[in-house]
Amino acid sequence: MTTRPSPTLETFPNPAPHRDYFIHMEIPEFTCLCPKTGQPDFGVLTVDFVPDETCIELKSLKLYIWSFRNEGCFHEAVTNRILDDLAGAAQPRFLRVTARFFVRGGIFTNVVAEYRKTGWQPEPKVELAEFAVQSNPSMRG
């Protein structure tokens, strides 16, 4: 098993390709370098996606994210590059990458980029827990 950064993303077959379901991943230790100063930029990445035929393998994602540690990247460019690489590898129905960078020079930067498979539309969201609390007085706090 490798313990070195790698730009390669691996996938595995979706165990339930017949339905839409949501995968949420948080990467709290993203690091790249400021392309202007060479100083480190730290951020939290959130990856949300609805898989189609494949899912993203987590160890390869960890090594892929690690590969940015010594690379100079503007926040907007790295967020969109990660979106493109993940979408290219997994071909999901939907993918969102949210990058929340820590303060630098008094400014927080948040970048959100999305991919949608052509023709895909999400099913309406169902809010069962909220309904149950409102309808059942014994469930109220």
> Could you tell me the domains of the chain?
11-139 (3.30.1130.10)
Catalytic status, residue 84:
no
pLDDT score, position 126: 80
User: In this model, does residue 19 exceed pLDDT 80?
Assistant: yes
For 6, 12, 124, 138, the CA distances from 24, given in Å and listed in that order, are: 22, 17, 18, 31
Distance between CA 32 and CA 117 in Å, rounded? Answer: 29
Between residues 140 and 29, the one the model is more confident about: 29
Return the residue matching tokens 């100083």.
39
pTM: 0.85
Residue 99 — φ and ψ, nearest 5°? -115, 120
Chain centroid offset of residue 52 CA: 16
Q: What is the tens place of the pLDDT at every residue in 25-48?
A: 999 999 999 999 999 999 999 999
pLDDT score, position 9: 96
Please tell me which residue in 20, 34, 48, 84 is annotated as part of the active site: 34
The total number of residues shown for the chain amounts to: 141
Question: Band of the pLDDT at 127, cuts 50, 70, 90?
Answer: confident
Q: What is the tens place of the pLDDT at every residue in 72-121?
A: 999 999 999 999 999 999 999 999 999 999 998 889 999 999 999 999 99
CB 65 within 8 A of CB 25: no
Catalytic status, residue 41:
yes
Opening angle at CA 1, ends 80 and 51, nearest 5: 40
